[in-house]
Structure 1
Amino acid sequence: MYTDTEGIILKQIKTVSGRRMVLLFSKKFGKISAGTSINEKGKGKSALAMRPFTYGKYELYKNRDTYHINGAEVLKSYYRIGEDVEKYMCCSYVLELTERVLAEDAKAPEIFYLLLDFLSIMEERKKKFETLVLAYQVKLLQCYGNMPKLDACACCGSTENLTDFSIKEGGLICKACILQENTNDALIYELNFAIVDILRYFLQNSLKALKSLALEESVQGQLQQILKDYFAYHLDIKTLKSEGFVMGLSQKK
């Protein structure tokens, strides 16, 4: 069956005989693996559409559970992302994280448009790239349906004396429940109302509305660690190749 779809290139892997396997986040089918003989280093319009940080239209041949990309054209190339190393690594991290969150062959239109918004905003952003990455992570959890509980205790439902944030319980917990928990648990964070306010602000606003937001380094660093632990515990995403670079940006500053 021949078909086409809009999509975002997540990753390309070279295989034997000049062929490549492409991980494509497609609008029509979700995340798919597709073979292709198109070389991203070529000069044709199809080659340009195979490069990282490219939003394109892809001609596919689907045979049962396999896909092959026969042709492609660029709809939008976010080439300026590659002009800044920090920006490039932050975007690489987001692509890698998104790829790990997505299920194979499952449509995810909310995440698809969220990623397009992120790439568009990031291409224009001049500094504080990590803040936008954090906003994307929170919005990604929101789209995935796995956001921390922020309006009441994740254990008992009380709205009184919310004193800590528990990774395991998935949100805020009250003083009474914290006394029943292991207070030496590394996955329990003493409540920082600035962090909670930021999480709520991220949830209440679109990514485009957050394009100029820049967090203080101390708050940013703590939020990075909380989200890292949260993704590891609840989505089993523990190690990403680009993670060390992104986490290190705040530590250097």
Structure 2
Amino acid sequence: MGDLLTDTEGIVLRQVKTSYGRRMILLFSKKYGKISAGTGLNERGKGKSSLALRPFTYGRYELFKNRDSYNINGAEVLKSYYGIGEDVDKYMNGAYVLEFTERVLAEEVPSPGIFSLLIDFFDLLENRDKGIGTLVLAYQTKVFRYTGVMPQLERCAICGEEKPAFKFSVEEGGVICRDCFQAMENLGPHALIYDIKFGILDILKYFTVNPLKKLENIALKEDAGKLLQEIIREYAAYYLDVSDLKSEKLI
């Protein structure tokens, strides 16, 4: 492809200062997916373009694309979620979701489902006063579906039969029945197997079939939230190679 002047909606994931006053913006663009784009626009200015370079911003970006790089020539804010930064809990969870999303996305592969999901997440996060961790877990569960690694929740992930779920196995990719679990135990110990308690199976199913906006007033109890967080993080590490996020220690 030759030189191209185009525009796209996008969400700023991260920015890095480079030399001579330039910045490198990691942008989740609707049209091109995750891209790195240089820009000479000054973030400290008061114009529309400068405001659109900040994380937690949904904007429209004018891009110049040549064979191997992008440059942001202009930008405007469509919606700023900068107010998230005024609440420590919201900011930490929002930063975690941005980092998680950055790690999940492949370079230059459009992901319109995750793009819309991320906007829905920030719409809800901005106005939410409690249960922020619940919202994060629901977002991550939905990302599994969009990336094609959704855990099997309806039938045993080993034998495929619709028997009562007995355990959740990360390595097997979902719930397993008692018979299959006992057969596994006979072969020796297995890691990443969790008890199905605190209603976590029903919670995961609810996350899967309902839009984020329907979770607006739902907050998990602490024991269920902690167990689900551990399962989801291990699952993301196993299937998406997403682990050791810098921001996860803060939430």
State TM-score, norm by structure 2.
0.95
Given candidates 199, 203, 207, the residue that maps to 1:198 is: 203
Q: Distance in 2 between matches of 1:191 and 1:137?
A: 19
Partner of 1:169: 172
Superposition pairs of residues 212-251 of structure 1, within 5 angstroms: 212-246=217-251
1:26 is displaced (CA, Å) by 0.5
Structure 1 partner of 2:145: 142
State the partner residue of 1:84: 87
Contact kept in structure 1, 2:198 and 2:224, CA below 8 Å: no
Shift of 1:193: 6.1
Report the equivalent of 1:189.
Answer: 194
Distance in 1, matches of 2:163 and 2:130, equals: 39
2:54 to 25, 29, 51: 51
Structure 2: any 5+ residue segments left out of the alignment? none
- Find the residue that maps to 1:153 and give its secondary structure: coil
Asked if the contact 2:153/2:201 (under 8 Å) is kept, the reply is yes
Q: State the match for 1:13 in structure 2.
A: 16
The Cα of 1:80 is off from its aligned counterpart by 1.6
Provide the secondary structure at the position in 1 that maps to 2:31: coil
**Residue identity opposite 2:74 in structure 1:** G
Cα deviation digits, residues 29-80 of structure 1 (max 9, x gap)? 1111101112322221110000110000101000012100011000100122
Q: Which amino acid aligns with 1:59?
A: E
**Helix, strand or coil for the counterpart of 2:137?**
helix
Tell me which residue corresponds to 1:249. none
Using the TM superposition, give the Cα deviation of residue 147 of structure 1 relative to its aligned residue in structure 2, in angstroms: 0.7
Residue 35 in structure 1 maps to residue 38 in structure 2: yes
- 2:198/2:223 contact within 8 Å kept: no
Q: What residue in structure 2 maps to residue 108 of structure 1? A: 111
Partner of 1:117: 120
The aligned residue for residue 67 of structure 1 is 70
Moved over 4 A (4+): none
SS of residue paired to 2:245: coil
Residue of structure 1 in register with 2:130 after alignment: 127
| 3-state SS in 2 of match to 1:107 | coil
CA distance in 1, matches of 2:208, 2:232: 14
Match of 1:160 among 158, 163, 173: 163
Distance 2:89 2:43 in 1: 23
What residue number does 1:3 align with?
6
Superposed CA RMSD: 1.1
Give distance in 2, aligned partners of 1:196 and 1:154: 14
Distance, in Å, in 2 between the alignment partners of 1:171 and 1:185 is 14
Stretch deviating more after TM superposition (199-208 or 182-191): 182-191
SS in 2 for 1:28: coil
Deviation at 1:18, TM superposition (A): 1.3
Cα distance between partner residues in 2 of 1:193 and 1:242: 26
The normalised TM-score by structure 1 is 0.94
Counterparts of 2:237 and 2:73, CA distance in 1: 37
Identity across the alignment (%): 59
